[in-house]
Structure 1
């Protein structure tokens, strides 16, 4: 995994960890279930985005870009961005 991707991934994981810690605090404080569920949905979305980044990076490592035309490289980049955004 490229260093910049690993750094971005670690930052996302730290952010998600912070959100989970916040949810634990909300539970300890007896906060409303709706508020907790809202935060859990945000964590789930963040984890799904992280999964998309990991999948996209794996595909990049499996594909030899030297074998792709410029147009194919652009199409691959666009497809991987969709994976990241919609995973």
Structure 2
């Protein structure tokens, strides 16, 4: 039993839901950027919206890499598609 100060362990399904939510949010924000450009919106507004899209995608990427790290730590070499520490590092650095 966990103590009140411990956070419940996040499952793969929970992690996938978070990732999908972030990607859907980014998709909506990108649609707004496209609409703003089509409408001839001010440069400042377009860039601000584009920055929000970029940040949402970055967060989704970091969440994906983080999930892979947790999986590797909890069950190293368990699956045929397991990822190495070097591969994780490369993935992480592509987001940086």
TM-score of the two chains, using structure 2 as the length reference: 0.64
Alignment of 1:17-56 (within 5 A): 17-56=27-66
SS at 1:36 equivalent: helix
**Structure ranking higher in helix proportion:** 1
Q: CA deviation at 1:64?
A: 2.6
What residue ranges of structure 1 are gaps of 5+ in the alignment? 66-82
Cα distance in 2 for partners of 1:29, 1:64 equals 49
After the TM superposition, which segments of 4 or more aligned residues of structure 1 sit over 3 Å from their partners?
none
Cα distance in 2 for partners of 1:55, 1:17 equals 20
What residue ranges of structure 2 are gaps of 5+ in the alignment? 1-10, 76-91
Deviation string 1:43-63 (CA, Å, 9 cap, x unpaired) is 111111111101110100101
Cα distance in 1 for partners of 2:61, 2:28 equals 18
User: Whose relative contact order is higher, 1 or 2, with alpha carbons under 8 Å and at least 6 apart?
Assistant: 1
TM-score of the two chains, using structure 1 as the length reference: 0.70
